[in-house]
């Protein structure tokens, strides 16, 4: 078949996805993992990995795209424009928590995701910014907290919850409950 096979389903697309998935998993655990380890995790030879991603940086670029895409989907699922700001943030937290290992990866390699769209200083996802500003207005998010800080708190709590889940033998549900509870308190307007 002489087709160009850019993004249609096929052997190549499946292998490529397997490598990306494995990379997220492995690099999430250990950001300095070698390409060999990633190849093993993907059930693929190192040669094959190099065929798809000639240089390490090529793989990282693909991971960046994949990460952004998953973040976008999660944000869509959270229906950020419905309900109060705090409720929307809670839903976003829930959706992000499902991202699993990707949380660790993003946390240890923030530059993978630091979208160039966001202004250089005080970078912040614009959707999150509007969400927080809505929360400020509707009185469900502490107006003393800038959107950028709310974003920091959200991510640090997510990461804490995810590693807490990995370190202890708590259930996924319980971990998310703890995160939601502390995050809710953290952003709530104070007396």
Angle, in degrees to the nearest 10, between helices 147-167 and 172-187: 160
Give me the residue label for tokens 């190549």. Answer: 12
> Whole-angstrom Cα distance, residue 86 to residue 33?
37
CB of 182 to a copy of itself, least distance (A): 4
CB of 98 to a copy of itself, least distance (A): 19
Q: Contact with DNA (CB under 7 A): which of 47, 167, 173, 185?
A: 47
> Of a copy of itself, DNA, none, which one does residue 155 interact with (CB within 5 to 8 Å by kind)?
a copy of itself
- Confirm or reject binding of residue 31 to DNA (CB under 7 A): no
> Of DNA, a copy of itself, none, which one does residue 181 interact with (CB within 5 to 8 Å by kind)?
a copy of itself
Q: Which is nearer to a copy of itself, 40 or 188 (CB)?
A: 188
- Cβ neighbours of residue 29 closer than 8 Å, sequence gap 6 or more: 101, 104
> Whole-angstrom Cα distance, residue 128 to residue 28?
24
CB of 145 to a copy of itself, least distance (A): 7
> Whole-angstrom Cα distance, residue 19 to residue 37?
11
CB of 69 to DNA, least distance (A): 21
Q: Contact with DNA (CB under 7 A): which of 36, 110, 122, 143?
A: 36
- Cβ neighbours of residue 120 closer than 8 Å, sequence gap 6 or more: none
Residue ranges in contact with a copy of itself by CB under 8 A: 32, 108, 121-123, 142, 144-145, 148-149, 152-153, 155-157, 159-161, 163-164, 167-169, 178, 181-188, 190
- Confirm or reject binding of residue 171 to DNA (CB under 7 A): no
**Which DSSP category does 190 fall into?**
P
Q: Which of 77, 112, 115, 82 is nearest to 98 (CA)?
A: 77
Which two structure tokens, joined as six digits, stand for 44? 């693929």
Tell me which residues touch DNA (CB under 7 A).
Answer: 1-2, 5, 10-12, 15, 34-36, 43-48, 50-52, 54-57
């Amino acid at each position: 078949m002489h087709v160009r096979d850019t993004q249609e389903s096929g052997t190549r697309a499946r292998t490529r996805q397997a490598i990306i998935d494995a990379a997220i998993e492995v690099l999430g655990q250990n950001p300095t993992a070698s390409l060999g380890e990633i190849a093993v995790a993907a059930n693929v030879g190192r040669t094959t990995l190099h065929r798809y991603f000639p240089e390490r940086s090529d793989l990282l670029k693909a991971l960046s795209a994949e990460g952004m895409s998953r973040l976008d989907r999660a944000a869509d699922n959270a229906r950020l424009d419905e309900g109060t700001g705090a409720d929307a943030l809670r839903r976003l937290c829930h959706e992000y928590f499902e991202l699993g290992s990707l949380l660790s990866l993003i946390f240890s390699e923030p530059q993978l995701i630091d979208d160039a769209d966001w202004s250089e200083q005080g970078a912040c996802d614009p959707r999150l910014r509007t969400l927080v500003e809505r929360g400020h207005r509707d009185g469900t998010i502490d107006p003393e907290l800038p959107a950028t800080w709310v974003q920091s708190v959200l991510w640090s709590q997510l990461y804490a919850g995810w590693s807490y889940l990995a370190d202890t033998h708590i259930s996924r549900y319980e971990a998310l409950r703890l995160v939601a509870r502390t995050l809710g308190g953290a952003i709530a307007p104070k007396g």
